[in-house]
Amino acid sequence: MDEKRKGEIALVLLKYRMGREGIRLTPDIKRDFGNIAKETGIPQDELKEFVKIFVEELLE
């Protein structure tokens, strides 16, 4: 299985889980993004953009 397909499957599973469990937006969300960025090496602005797109797709 190639990396693109793995990513597609991961995104579907994430949407499924978030759709069932919901998304919790806490007052500490900025700190959470900072911590996630440090731990994963993904820039914080990219994380924010991804979450924005992700939430919009969940609400469709």
DSSP letters spanning 15-48 = HHHHHHH-----TTHHHHHHHHHHHH---HHHHH
Whole-angstrom Cα distance, residue 55 to residue 41? 22
Q: Residue 51 carries which side chain, given as an amino acid letter? A: V
9-55: per-residue pLDDT in tens?
999 999 899 888 887 778 888 888 899 999 999 999 999 999 889 88
Is pTM beyond 0.75? Reply is no
Q: Domain boundaries in the chain?
A: 25-60
